[in-house]
Structure 1
Amino acid sequence: MDESQKEQAGAGEGDLCLLTIGEHESWLVQGRQEPLRLAMGYRALVPGQTLGQFHREPPSPLELEQAIAWVEDIVMPLATDLAPCSALRLTPSLLTPLFGPVTLPLARIEQSFAQLAAMAERDPLAARDLPAGREFAATLLILREFMHHLGFIEVSLLAAQP
């Protein structure tokens, strides 16, 4: 996590949360608190393994389920430790090219995840709106589980810095 990301988290209200989904780890900053390191990233869904359970492209239904269980094990303890946040921001990620800098409701993230699940079931129509790639799938899965289990109703995707 770099200094500009820490500044973005601290800007405005103290109860904003900034999530950075990195390759092998992610970071959560709440207001001006120290960043919290999370042992999950779009290339590290299982400790010590590149791309975790995602061996297929798109991931299989079983791979998705295993990844969900693993991410839940990391995210669920935060529900008791994390003070309520008024808003969630996501630093530029693999989701930014698809959605752009925008605020998305949880329902839109869930819709995209349902489309990913349909892709896993080999539904040919599901692939038309989502990019291929295990890394995109992992990023979407992490964000979805984070929002779903920590009660965020929307996420603001931040623009990439020029």
Structure 2
Amino acid sequence: MPTAALAAGNTEPYSVALGWQTVAQAFGLRMPTPLSLENAIATVEDAVMPASRWLTKPPAGTAPPFTLHTRSPLLREVAEVAGVTLYTPPARLSRQAVENLFNRLSDQIHRPGVPDTALPQRAEWAAALLILREGLHHWGVEWVELG
């Protein structure tokens, strides 16, 4: 599932042939192990890092010249697990909230057999969280707006 984005000053979309189903398959269609998570992080970083050079970089301490928006039901589920109230505009999922969820996922992965019952136990959910985390981090974006 390719994803595309446009940034200020760029007329052509940046496209990445990577989606959560691709990453979920790398997890073996089950919750990731420590090794499969590390391998997936490397794969996702390889996909999203080139876009950071393509996106217009803002001066330090200022907001990026673009905003990420999504209507993805899966990313809305990630936001709900993070505690975002989706029906009070603007519904925003912060990079810090994504990082906190990712840390919980990582803690769970390193304690096999002890699932975090507040986290959905689906490979595609874990994959979506990972891709969102890496994109927000490497692109310097503080939040994603959920429509």
Q: Give the shorter-chain TM-score range.
A: 0.7 to 0.9
Which range moved further: 57-66 or 83-92?
83-92
Show the counterpart of 1:144. 133
- Number of residues paired by the alignment? 130
- Segments of 5+ residues of structure 2 without an aligned counterpart are 58-64, 81-85
Give, in angstroms, the shift of residue 82 of structure 1. 1.3
The 3-state SS of whatever aligns with 1:94 is: helix
Q: TM-score, normalised by structure 2?
A: 0.76
Choose which of 101, 112, 116 in structure 1 pairs with 2:101: 112
1:96 to 53, 76, 81: 76
Q: What are the residue-to-residue correspondences of 1:38-49 with 2, within 5 Å?
A: 38-45=16-23
The answer to which of 68-77 and 54-63 deviates more is 54-63
Please give the per-residue CA displacement for 1:110-160, whole angstroms capped at 9, x wherever unaligned. 0011111112113666522211100001111000000011101111122xx
**Identity across the alignment (%):** 34
Rounded to whole Å, the distance in 2 between the matches of 1:123 and 1:153 is: 31
Greater RCO (Cα-Cα under 8 Å, separation 6 or more): 2
Whether the aligned pair in 2 keeps the contact of 1:25 and 1:44 (CA below 8 Å) is: no
CA 1:52–1:125: 2 relative to 1, 3 Å: closer
The alignment's TM-score, normalised by the length of structure 1, stands at 0.70
- Structure 1 residue runs without a partner (length 5+): 1-23, 46-50
Please tell me whether the aligned partners of residues 14 and 51 of structure 2 are also in contact (alpha carbons under 8 angstroms). Answer: no
